[in-house]
Amino acid sequence: MPKVRVIVLAFALAACSPSGASSSLAPEPSIAPSPAPSAVAASVAPSVSVAPEPSGACIDRGQLAETADSVNNSLQGMAAALTANTAGEASALAGTAATQMRSLAGLVEAVRPLAAAALRDAADKLDSAKANPADVAAAATAAQALFSQAYDLATAGACPA
């Protein structure tokens, strides 16, 4: 799942770089008369530098990246186990990935309910397939696709860096 690692790396780099993004539309200059000097003096107060808060609900980037990385590792391990024909290990990793996807769904549900639904759908597919090792390969492909889509949706709801 190199795509998730690239996305996580991109977010990490974005968090470390200065934000130079600003609106291309500059505010219109005001033609209103300037306030009286006493009004200006009354409005001047000591300023305290505080980090801006997000304007609405958002998903914690660190938790999102950490949980998604765990899911990704389980999915990769499951794929490796399928390649090595170790059905028991693949089945166990399918259960682990399903549990992690449900955890990730709980994290993103309030902000991105569609991502949470996709994650739960992928987890259900893995859970139902782990009982029959022959079904794990097909479920793994479907779960991987759903996880990628859900992760993309969830990152769109992540808090600003």
pLDDT at 76 over 50: yes
Shortest CA distance to 4 belongs to which of 93, 64, 79, 58? 64
Q: Is 87 a domain residue?
A: yes
List, as one string, the DSSP characters of 125-153: HHHHHHTSHHHHHHHHHHHHHHHHHHHHH
Kindly state the average pLDDT of the residues 104-120: 96
**Residue carrying the six token digits 């549900």:** 109
Condensed to tens digits (0 to 9), the pLDDT of residues 6-64 reads 444 344 434 444 444 443 344 444 444 445 444 444 444 344 333 334 457 999 999 99
Q: Is 83 a domain residue?
A: yes
pLDDT at position 124, please?
A: 95
Q: Is 113 a domain residue?
A: yes
Give the residue numbers spanning the domain of 135: 56-155
Q: What is the band of 123 on the pLDDT scale with cuts at 50, 70, 90?
A: very high
What burial letters (b/e) apply to 59-74, b meaning 16+ CB within 10 Å?
bebeebbebbebbbbb
